[in-house]
A and B are shown apart, each in its own frame.
Chain A
Amino acid sequence: MPLRTQQTIAPTEQTSSAWLLDISGGLTVAVAAQDVIYVYPDAPQVFPVPQTPDHVPGVVNWQQHLVPIIDLGIYLGLQQAESHSAAIKMMVLLTLGDSRLGAMALEQIPERAEVADSSQCELPANLQAWGSLAASCFMHNTRGAVPILDLNAVFGSKLSPGGLVERVGYRDRDNAA
């Protein structure tokens, strides 16, 4: 499938290739280019698994391998989980290292970007809750600050049910106090 490429920096500067992933809730995150191994042009069949966190809509069968799916929008409370497996529009298959795979629900086709070291930035205050999930962050010329995901954190055990949402909640309450 054709994938758009976005040039974000001057051509003389050394860059790293990345994919911009639009998750639900209007947020954009990034992963290293080599982490994406397949983009599903249509949402594949999702097999729901009960008694799992709401942000895990189920698993997908990829070449006889069962791959867990994560929807960060639900994790962040930006989207309701009900009947979500049928509402997934697009998905990307990611390699997590050690031959492990993960899939992430997306809102639209990923966009390629070249990221320069000079574009690295701090996580803005409104994204501080991403700290445990983001390896770093860079400033994109049109999308603003984009967290670069630590996929092992995202697909590890850190995303306990409500974990990040609760932490955000506590942070907001603390700030309010």
Chain B
Amino acid sequence: MSSQALGQKSEQLMAVMNFAGLRLAVPLAEVHSLVSVLDLDDSQANASVLAQVEVNGRELPAFGFDAELRTLRSVPEDYRVCANLGAETPELGIICQSIETLEQSVTEEALPACMSSASSMLKGLALNNDEVLLCTNLAALVEHISTTDKSSAGLFLSPREAS
């Protein structure tokens, strides 16, 4: 059977962020830059904003997640990298243990209807050899953070500002 077990498919290069055993993939094209957590400014950290990261002269909020993709309230000691996401204009930083680029493109399949929930940041699944990758993207992350933490909603650029 040439089955399409999940839904729509798209093939692209992905970067994988590690969160205490959970691996979350984002399109490589959306990874703007990487910064060490040592270079972050945590003087204005609040509930879910773990720190501020300066990119191109702008201060962006940085967030982190645990192995259940719950928003962190503090940066674990082994979270060492901040990935700044946004193809041309970065919008936020994601603090994680490490990030790596997959050598080959993977085929992301849309999350089936029965698995979707309104507040999920996950948009798809992909197989990387025998590993199941959880896939998200910048737009889904912004929506998830804005939904789960109302105080963060105003921190992101509007589409007009981003362009």
Q: A interface vs B, CB < 8 Å?
A: 37, 47, 49-53, 56, 59, 61-68, 70, 95, 98-102, 154-157, 159-161
Measured CB to CB, the closest approach of chain A to B141, in angstroms, equals 12
Most buried by A among B2, B114, B117, B132: B114
Q: Indicate which residue in A50, A66, A154 contacts B5 across the interface (CB closer than 8 Å).
A: A66
Most buried by A among B5, B116, B120: B5
Measured CB to CB, the closest approach of chain A to B65, in angstroms, equals 9
Q: B interface vs A, CB < 8 Å?
A: 1-7, 22, 67-69, 109, 111-117, 119-122, 125, 127, 130, 132, 134
Q: Which residues of A contact B125 (CB under 8 A)?
A: 49, 59, 66
Q: Indicate which residue in B7, B111, B114 contacts A154 across the interface (CB closer than 8 Å).
A: B114
Q: Indicate which residue in B7, B127, B134 contacts A49 across the interface (CB closer than 8 Å).
A: B134
Whether the pair B3, A101 counts as a contact (CB closer than 8 A) is yes
Residue of B nearest to A155 (CB): B114
Q: Indicate which residue in B1, B4, B122 contacts A52 across the interface (CB closer than 8 Å).
A: B122
C-alpha gap A156/B122 in the complex (Å) = 17
Most buried by B among A95, A100, A156: A100
Q: Which residues of B contact A59 (CB under 8 A)?
A: 115, 125, 132
Measured CB to CB, the closest approach of chain B to A48, in angstroms, equals 9
